[in-house]
Structure 1
Amino acid sequence: MMTYARLARRLLAYAATIALAGAVYATESATPEQKASGLVARMSLEEKVAQLQSAAPALPRLDIPAYEWWNEGLHGAARAGYATVFPQAIGLAAGWHPELMRQVGEVVSREARARFDAIGAGHDHGRYEGLTIWSPNVNIFRDPRWGRGQETYGEDPYLTGRLAVAFVQGIQGPDPAHPRAIATPKHFAVHSGPEAGRHGFDIDVSPHDLEATFLPAFRAAVTEGHAGSVMCAYSALHGTPVCADAGLLGDTLRKAWGFTGYVVSDCDAVDDMTKFHYYKADNAASSAAAIRAGTDLDCGYAYAELTAAVKRGDVDESVLDASLVRLFAARYRLGDLGTSAARPTTVDVKANAALALRAALESTVLLKNDGGTLPLQGTPRIAVIGPNADTVETLEANYHGTPRAPVTPLQGLRARFGADRVSYAQGAPVAAGVPVPVPETALRTSTAADAAVGLTGRYFDNVAFDGTPLTTRVDRSVDFDWDHVAPAGLPKGRYAVRWTGAIVPPGPGDYTLAVHVERCFDCGGHDAVRLFVDGKPVIDDTGDDKHTQATLHFDDSRPRDVRLELVHGGDDQGVRLQWLAPAAAQLAEAERAVASADVTVAFVGLSPDVEGEELHVDVPGFDGGDRTDIGLPAPQQALLERAAASGKPLVVVLLSGSAVALDWAKEHASAIVAAWYPGESGGTAIAQVLAGDYNPGGRLPVTFYRSVRDLPPFTSYQMKGRTYRYFEGTPLYPFGHGLSYTRFSYAKASTSAAGIDAGQAVTVSVEVRNSGQRAGDEVVQAYLGYPQGDALAPKRSLVGFQRVHLAPGESRRVTFELDPRRLSSVDATGQRAVLAGEYTVFLGGGQPGDAAGGRTGFKIRGRQALPR
């Protein structure tokens, strides 16, 4: 039994400890960890638990402001207003240019820092206002059916790793003690669909595939990029949810790779452990398992149950303390806490926009160019067709900011070639049953024959349409992203817009009209919309998403009076007036546009409305954001065939976040360009490429397969038969493929030594020459071929690449140093080692058999095991 004297001595000792902690906490010369330890020691259990959740509340008694850890920056500072919108991640990867990635990451973090500084250190920061960026996504794009593959850097571990390191370094900056922001590679570690069931998916991956394919990019981001944070995935590995996997988070991430940052869960992943994985009986137990395994921060609310978990003995409070120290140390380094001097950040909008254009140009991949169709010569009359020709959403992709002046492909071609040289017809929807924005060709300011193109928009600074509009203007279509921004000079907050004019159907038939409002989630309220046709209400949606479509029959193509009203009384993020028009009418309209032109440019592919994260899409070819068919959707295929029937040159521009099987286009189109989701300057970049102002040099970061029949089941994570490294068939277009308007030749491939001992590095090099008439970029790629007899080795692996710019006639020797890890193999148990045998290296502009290049080789003696 404890005496009163002993109890008093313990209380005095505890008070002294708290006092000492407070002294350390108050000392500016202390390390971030020391300051964090002192701070945590002064917290109650309930305060600690609150700080372990992503929406961490303020602690006024400790001078700690509220901080929301959730911020996004996949290809631009996202979801908080105006920002530079770069090409989607898969497009950035197509540039094969790590230094460009570093510069993009720097812009992302500088714009995030500017938002943060506008509020100020020591003040509360809400969602998307902080400096902890939940990017990049370095999951392997193992299957083109995955809707979120667009967020990745493609299918190759080495390419993904190099781009991830550069992006992380750009985000965080050169000073580890004072990072500009903190990057968060995600989703650790084996995560690539399907979207349906992702919250409870248990992945059965072999030790070989785990080490050889799914871990290398994360390892590079941590060991070389020194990422300050990592996000654990929704999925489970072999029955253990990743966010509770002590082997993965502790043994691999922290011990083997030396990670010292913090781990955050994917949003509600801890809650998923209870509800969908059935890993534990309640969230208290799931939270205890997650934090013991090494998940420091919960995006969600499950960690609120840690108070109960500690009290019932599921986890020691000291485990919470360790996580909190990591979290508060990060906030100290970022300058969010303490007495750091304010560091106001300025944003060079023009320079950032120029970088977005450069990124879009470098990401463009020329897949086919028969007979020198491209670049277009002279001043041709151009028919622009296709559902992706004039939409903002196909520029932006997902996880994006709001661009200040987005340029669609139609606008880009008009600006470059002249509006009088460009005719336009939408021609088709993206997919059957998926509405697209009503095009300008079907909108007029009134029903009069001489009415201007577009609708008249009246913008009110109140939600009752009272008084005189603050702004009146003509909008050529209603397709707006207003996420955290106010349109037309309106003050931020509550406003209303009324558009009036006429809709002009291209022919008789049934038309489905829709008003798409980009709904916010976990927010304070939604916007109301009303649509009237010929004075009759056809849509009246107060924000419940239940009545946003109406089907009308038009007997002819005369103009119909239309009025659309938007009341922005909530937190929704934009509005689109959309339709599904009769196929016959749209195809006939496209045929008329083609008839008056010299060449047709068809903007086809996919859109963020059909491929993405856990979407509510169930139409032919698509399932919940994923795809069930990788071919071009049938309505677009019909459009291409109708255009080709004219006999005029057909240029296909693919806008998508993933590979599309363009089998017919490969056989019948004159040229094919992959432009991805190209960002705010996408239209300008595409026009410059088509005109020859820029010579495309991008390369595919993924394999373009011919059919889903070439692929293993989507739910299988076995790599056999997937990606260029293990696929045994003939692809439509291979990984690494890309053409140019000039020609490159290779000579004198060589190696630094005919033989090396296992564990040594070897240098290989080749001379590349621009043997054409135009300056251009070549992506020199190095592929390693493995010794015969290694049954688990891939067919070949990318082990080096450099993007080089060469003037006509210019030559350069390109050199790669191959370290032991790049020369290694992985056995069935997941052990990595350099093995003895004869190795070959192909050096060229693509894979062997697809591009010009040269070969060299060397022998490795002995065996050298490598660390994880």
Structure 2
Amino acid sequence: MKRFFLLLILVFNVYLFQAQDSKYPFQNPSLPVEERVEDLISRLTLSEKVQMMKHQSPAIERLGVPAYDWWNEALHGVARTQEKMTVFPQAIGLAATFDVEGLQKTADMISSEGRALFNEDIKTNKTGSRYRGLTYWTPNVNIFRDPRWGRGQETYGEDPYLTSQMGMAMVRGLEGNDPKYLKSVACAKHYAVHSGPEHNRHSFNAQVDAYDLWDTYLPAFQALVTEANVHGVMCAYNRLDGQPCCGHNELLHDILRNQWGFKGYVTSDCWALRDFAHNHKTHANDIEAVSDAVLKGTDLECGDLYQLLEQGVNQGIISERSINVSLKRLLTILFKIGLFDPESDHPYMSINRTVIECPEHKQQAYEMACKSMVLLENKNHILPLNPNKLKRIAVIGPNANNEQTLLGNYNGVPSEIITPVESLKKRLAGKAEIDYMQGVDFVRPLKEAPSFQEVASRAKKADVILFVSGINANYEGEGSDVGADGYVGFASGDRTTLQLPPVQIELMKELKKTGRPLILVNMSGSVMSFDWEGRNADAILQCWYGGQSAGDAIIDILFGEYNPSGRMPLTTYMNDEDLPPFEDYSMQNRTYRYFKGDVRYPFGYGLSYTTFSFSECSVDTTLSTGKKILYRVNVTNTGKRAGDEVVQLYVSHQANKNKRQPICALKGFKRVSLQPGETKEVMFELSPKELALVNQQGELLQQAGHVDVYIGGGQPYKSEGVFYPLTVTGDVYKVY
């Protein structure tokens, strides 16, 4: 009892000290966040309030409120800061890992590096600098519905389930698990129905019906809000069915706040609110535009118009009470990251810059790069190469020694970037000659360089030719960022063709004539059609934009130090004619779930240096609606090398003949490491949500009928695996 009273006295004294040290109640960390927020709002003028609703929130010196800039990015590492930071593979490459645990670990490392910078700024009273805050506008969970979209590299691919799982992993890694404080703040973007084209995004009106909206475009956002508890959402530039997304009552009020119960903050995309009056022409002027945006639910503006909210209040368009609603959400975030609290109270304030580019983070960047790369072709098992049998290697191509390409877009800059050429020279020094020739630029021949015939003649002296092809973020990316517009095949950051630039294929054709093995290593943020390459290259390795350690990862895969295990997060179509018009947002004949033609490399596809087999386990064959079911399968490594298999579960309702439904849909996946001859049992639990279908009104319903459940190394009929027929009985069960 005596110890209890001593503890009580200690707690009281701490509280008393903090209260005495606080000039205002909002500065007292012992008070509830809600009470602190209300106190601070009560002390602000209207002018101060609206200024704090802009991404560059100024200091309120009379109250001791520090400045804060909300704009920061952490797509695959802390981005755009002047500091040297660890750079992991681009998001589309992270998706190709199909590794939820690995991505969450990566996100946790990213937030640690960002925390280190922010903590320094707090201690030195220098908060307010761009790209130093903890509100990351990450992840991008838009669906990569069309492979021509330049910003698709920022996403987790074409599938809503994969996007949801990877997006939730990113959120959990960034935000941490402390009950009071956020390690950093994630933001699901761009809400919603936003995936190109780039050139008209400020005026584009996306049109979708209820089925596609709820079957394809909203599930990832819903998962991040309702399951991962993401604290931020960014609304998109475009209109949806006539209303700007940042002023869309159904999206922001009805769905996000009311149906999903979102409690966090909503930010506009940068300068999106200027589009209301000037590009979308939906509002008479900027004052009405910003007032409507706040009333519809956009709390923060990335831009320069929210100061006009003061005039909106004075004109009676919006009330100060509505301003307070949005400001409360914003201040709650700032209190949760610890902006107003002493170091001793904060579990994340001890993180310092020793974590930045530490060995553990560099190793994770390398491992995720290895896991991301997809082996598409391996004719006659030419890979892995035996370095003991190679005396001369010709390394050619625009990305063979291009450091910038490895970083993708929305990137940081590390202290060291390892290209394939550098990695080869490092490991084969004194053992083999590395004959590097760039040979060609991305879209045109090099000036004052050897002809293609001369390059091929020199390459013929080598034992093997590595052609490192592709493009980079100068050619595909956000329309306002790309710096190499105007070339054939590209338009405002998007691509107009799935083919590699013709000049690269032309050089490869000359190299093919040498008779030497031709291994294609491709870097891009999307798929290439690989028509000629798929028929003529001896091997193809898709490497995305692999981050700072991509060179080592590529060479380790080529020489068998790492067994390739990446899987395609996108469908590789045969040619451009397979694609519907870019601006058509209907999912009909798009992605593996709805495309009915032949494809070159299917979603979920990827080769290995070993082989795997699947054998069925005993499972239930009937299920009542509204119930869960457990599936098991045995996976065996039947080859001679250790390797990872990505076990994939797909559900198909084709026997039910519904009007609109996917051909099949991914509903589970697990990465499994197996030694030669080893068998592991893999289990999946399917809830009514995974076994339900969206109807024409956008409702997710589980109904009686026949369902095929397939578990294997890829899609049904395109990989080895097992089918589990399931009969569902009972009344209609409404998931939502």
TM bracket (short chain): over 0.9
CA shift for structure 1 position 124: 2.5
Cα distance, 1:630–1:766 mapped onto 2, change above 3 Å: same
Does 2:732 correspond to 1:851?
A: no
CA shift for structure 1 position 849: 2.5
> Which of 137, 149, 153 is the equivalent residue of 1:150?
153
User: AA paired with 1:68?
Assistant: D
Does 2:488 correspond to 1:620?
A: yes
2:732 maps to 864
Does 2:157 correspond to 1:172?
A: no
Does 2:433 correspond to 1:421?
A: yes
| Count of aligned pairs between the two proteins | 700
User: AA paired with 1:64?
Assistant: V
Cα distance, 1:720–1:827 mapped onto 2, change above 3 Å: same
Does 2:460 correspond to 1:592?
A: no
Q: Tell me the distance in 1 between the aligned counterparts of 2:618 and 2:673.
A: 21
Superposed CA offset, 1:25-75 (max 9, x none): 354332212211110111111000100000000000111111000000000
> Which of 728, 732, 746 is the equivalent residue of 2:614?
746
CA shift for structure 1 position 169: 0.3
Question: Which structure shows the higher helix fraction?
Answer: 2
Does 2:136 correspond to 1:133?
A: yes
> Which of 299, 321, 324 is the equivalent residue of 1:321?
324
> Which of 331, 345, 350 is the equivalent residue of 2:351?
345
> Which of 411, 430, 433 is the equivalent residue of 2:442?
430
Gaps of 5+ in 1: 1-20, 434-579
Once the two structures are superposed, the pairs formed by residues 182-581 of structure 1 within 5 Å of their partners are 182-341=185-344, 343-346=349-352, 347-348=354-355, 349-379=358-388, 380=390, 381-418=392-429, 420-432=432-444, 580-581=446-447
Q: Tell me the distance in 2 between the aligned counterparts of 1:593 and 1:766.
A: 51
Q: Tell me the distance in 2 between the aligned counterparts of 1:90 and 1:826.
A: 27
Q: Tell me the distance in 2 between the aligned counterparts of 1:137 and 1:750.
A: 39
Q: Say whether the 8 Å CA contact 1:365–1:697 is kept in structure 2.
A: yes
Q: Say whether the 8 Å CA contact 2:457–2:514 is kept in structure 1.
A: no
Superposed CA offset, 1:708-728 (max 9, x none): 100100000000010000001
Q: Say whether the 8 Å CA contact 1:135–1:186 is kept in structure 2.
A: yes
Give 3-state SS (helix, strand or coil) of 1:79's partner. Answer: coil
CA shift for structure 1 position 586: 4.1
Give 3-state SS (helix, strand or coil) of 2:600's partner. Answer: coil
Give 3-state SS (helix, strand or coil) of 2:656's partner. Answer: coil
Cα distance, 1:27–1:418 mapped onto 2, change above 3 Å: closer
Superposed CA offset, 1:577-617 (max 9, x none): xxx4268x341342133122111111001211111110350
User: AA paired with 1:83?
Assistant: M
Q: Say whether the 8 Å CA contact 1:285–1:314 is kept in structure 2.
A: yes
Q: Tell me the distance in 2 between the aligned counterparts of 1:267 and 1:223.
A: 25
Give 3-state SS (helix, strand or coil) of 2:258's partner. Answer: helix
> Which of 100, 103, 108 is the equivalent residue of 1:101?
103
Give 3-state SS (helix, strand or coil) of 2:603's partner. Answer: coil
Q: Tell me the distance in 1 between the aligned counterparts of 2:600 and 2:325.
A: 51
- Give TM-score, length-normalised by structure 1: 0.79
Superposed CA offset, 1:134-185 (max 9, x none): 1010000000000000000000000010001111000001114211100011
* Cα RMSD (Å): 1.5
Q: Say whether the 8 Å CA contact 1:755–1:858 is kept in structure 2.
A: yes
1:809 maps to 677
Q: Tell me the distance in 2 between the aligned counterparts of 1:362 and 1:287.
A: 45
CA shift for structure 1 position 258: 1.5
CA shift for structure 1 position 23: 6.2
- Give TM-score, length-normalised by structure 2: 0.93
Q: Tell me the distance in 2 between the aligned counterparts of 1:72 and 1:378.
A: 40
Superposed CA offset, 1:809-845 (max 9, x none): 0001111101111111011111110021100111100
Q: Tell me the distance in 2 between the aligned counterparts of 1:582 and 1:28.
A: 66
User: AA paired with 2:365?
Assistant: A
Q: Tell me the distance in 1 between the aligned counterparts of 2:438 and 2:149.
A: 27
CA shift for structure 1 position 338: 3.5
> Which of 455, 474, 481 is the equivalent residue of 1:609?
474
Gaps of 5+ in 2: 1-21
Q: Say whether the 8 Å CA contact 1:424–1:593 is kept in structure 2.
A: no
1:797 maps to 665
Q: Say whether the 8 Å CA contact 2:58–2:128 is kept in structure 1.
A: no
After the TM superposition, which of the residue ranges 415-424 and 592-601 deviates more from structure 2? 415-424
Q: Tell me the distance in 2 between the aligned counterparts of 1:106 and 1:590.
A: 45
After the TM superposition, which of the residue ranges 727-736 and 253-262 deviates more from structure 2? 253-262
Q: Tell me the distance in 2 between the aligned counterparts of 1:314 and 1:595.
A: 74
Question: Which structure shows the higher strand fraction?
Answer: 1
Structure whose alpha-carbon radius of gyration is higher: 1
Q: Say whether the 8 Å CA contact 1:58–1:124 is kept in structure 2.
A: no
Give 3-state SS (helix, strand or coil) of 2:214's partner. Answer: helix
Q: Say whether the 8 Å CA contact 1:426–1:586 is kept in structure 2.
A: no
Q: Tell me the distance in 2 between the aligned counterparts of 1:844 and 1:398.
A: 34
Q: Say whether the 8 Å CA contact 2:127–2:133 is kept in structure 1.
A: no
Q: Tell me the distance in 1 between the aligned counterparts of 2:260 and 2:473.
A: 36
1:764 maps to 631
Once the two structures are superposed, the pairs formed by residues 593-742 of structure 1 within 5 Å of their partners are 593-614=458-479, 615=482, 617-742=485-610
Q: Say whether the 8 Å CA contact 1:409–1:687 is kept in structure 2.
A: yes
User: AA paired with 1:69?
Assistant: W
Q: Say whether the 8 Å CA contact 1:426–1:590 is kept in structure 2.
A: no
Q: Say whether the 8 Å CA contact 1:138–1:185 is kept in structure 2.
A: yes
Superposed CA offset, 1:703-756 (max 9, x none): 0111110010000000001000000111110000001000001112543x2211
